[in-house]
Every structure is written in structure tokens, then in C-alpha cells.
Amino acid sequence: MNPEPGITVEARGAIEILTLNQPDALNVLTPEVIDELADYYEALQHRTEVRVVILRSTGRAFCAGADLGSQAFAEAGSGRIHRQGDIQQRYASVIRLMRSCPQPVIGLVHAAACGAGFSLVLACDIRYAAPEAKMNAAYLRVGLGGCDLGSGYLLPRLVGLGPASEFLLSGRFIGAERALRMGLVSEVVPAGQLLDTGLAMAADMLRASPLGLRMTKETLNALIDAPSLDAALMIENRQQIMLTGTEDHLEAVAAFRDKREPRYRER
């Protein structure tokens, strides 16, 4: 672990604000920072008191990607391919954990998100960007393939194969306005308003029952690869049948009828 943590976490009720916090290093992702992120997202599986996560960063860049001068790229010599395989799996695990954690993750992109930083953005459930934000699959620019850390899976599902191919095959930057037109980000707002925008969305999410919110993310993850409409409906039906058996469902219906905010108890 770094003497200075690469991330900080601030709790605001049921919302946690996770900040990449090495601005002088452009928030590059060393293996140590990756391990911090992996530990954080893995622990979320059991932290039901946290219901929404906001991911942001400080400084001139959102994240400049993997640190090319660190052990992110194993030294040459005997066994390098095995050492590199271990490191690759460590980085990829963060993307898997972000997608599988029960809490929705809201990404706030205020500046450049490159390579591994771009993949962090793609792994969020909702993204907001400042006008200065830009993103690219920088892997291609350092002699690697453009599909890395989930980019080849997530980007085509977010924007379609054509636009994804344009950026993954070229390493070009996606500016904020183009990202908005493609649906990659939900809104472009001034950098100073990003946190308030994210908190407002998180507040809307908190109006859902805790289990309903978690199961919606889980169901969306399952449905993106559903083989047919019938398979999708089957998954949705099971979700709804389970949720109608909860006390929070009864409370939400009563609150709707009484024109008041629900008081959820189940976690």
C-alpha cells in the first residue's frame, strides 16, 4: 500500500464519494492504487449501508491511465509473460468488481480519462462530464490492443459497434460533446457543478428501496447479454416476484397512496 493513499472515501449518509487523489501524478493507476480500488469495491458486496457510490478525481486529469514506469508493466526477462499475466488480472479485477458490486456507481469526469482511466469511466453505471473532459483507449498508443480492461465489451454496448470501432481502432479522444451525442455520458455540466449533479442523481436513486435498487443493477447486468426477449422477461419476472414479498414494497405502496416519502427498513 502507498504511504499516501491513492484514493479517499467520504461518506454522505448512504452515499460514498470515492476520489482518485494523486493529482500531482495525474491519478495514474499503479498496482498499489489498483489494489486499493479492488479492496474498496470488493468490500461493497457486504456494506449494505452504502447504497450509491460517486467516483471522481482531483487535479488536471481524471486519470492518465496505468503508470508506464511502474510494475504495471513487468520487467523483461525469464517469466515475464507470467508476471504480466498476474498484473493484468489485478487491473481487470477492478472493472469486474465495479460491475458486480450491488451499488450503482456514478462517474464524474472533469478532465482527461485515458487508457485504464477510460475503462474506469466505462465501468460506471452513469457518467457525467465537464466540457473539458475527454476520453480515449490509450492502450493502442503504447503498442497494445485497443480492447483492454473491459473497453471492448463495454463501449460497444454503450454506444454501438460503429462508434466503438472508431475509437478503439484509432486511440482518438472522445470529447465531451461527442460523448453526449453518443449517449456515453448523460449530461455535460460545468466542472464546478459535477458533484452536485452526481449527488442529485444519487438522491433520486435513494428514493428506491435498498433491495430494489440493488436488484435493478443486477438485472441490468444480466439483461445486457440476455439471448432473447423471453429470457429477459423471465429474469425480470423473478426480480419482481421477489420484491413484492418485501416489507419495503408494502411501505412504498402505502407511501405512494399517502403522498409521502417511504420509510425503508430492509437492507
pLDDT in tens, 185-244: 999 999 999 999 999 999 999 999 999 999 999 999 999 999 999 999 999 999 999 999
Mean residue pLDDT across the chain: 93
Average pLDDT of span 247-256: 92
Question: What pLDDT digit, counting tens, does each position of 8-23 carry?
Answer: 999 999 999 999 999 9
Res 88 pLDDT > 60: yes
Beta strands in the chain (DSSP E): 7-12, 15-20, 52-57, 61-63, 105-109, 112-114, 126-129, 134-136, 174-175, 187-188
Query: Which pLDDT belongs to residue 63?
Result: 98
How sure is the predictor about 161, in pLDDT bands with cuts at 50, 70 and 90?
A: very high
Looking at residue 142, its pLDDT comes to: 87
Beta bridge partner(s), residue 136: 114
Question: Model confidence at 47, in pLDDT bands (50, 70, 90)?
Answer: very high
Average pLDDT over residues 39-45: 97
What confidence category does residue 155 fall into, taking pLDDT thresholds of 50, 70 and 90?
very high
Residue 74 has pLDDT above 70, yes or no: no
Q: Give the pLDDT band of residue 267 (cuts 50, 70, 90).
A: low
Q: What pTM was estimated for this model as a whole?
A: 0.93
Res 32: pLDDT: 93
- 96-147 confidence digits (pLDDT tens): 999 999 999 999 999 999 999 999 999 999 999 999 999 999 998 888 999 9
Q: Please name the residues in contact with 196: beta carbons below 8 A apart, sequence gap of 6 or more.
A: none
Q: Which three cell numbers stand for residue 95?
A: 472493472
Mean pLDDT score, 164-184:
97
What is the structure's pLDDT at 3? 47
Burial 103-130 (b: 16+ CB within 10 A, else e): bbbbbbbbbbbbbbbbbbbbbbbbbbbb
* Contact in structure between 6 and 32 (CB atoms under 8 Å): yes
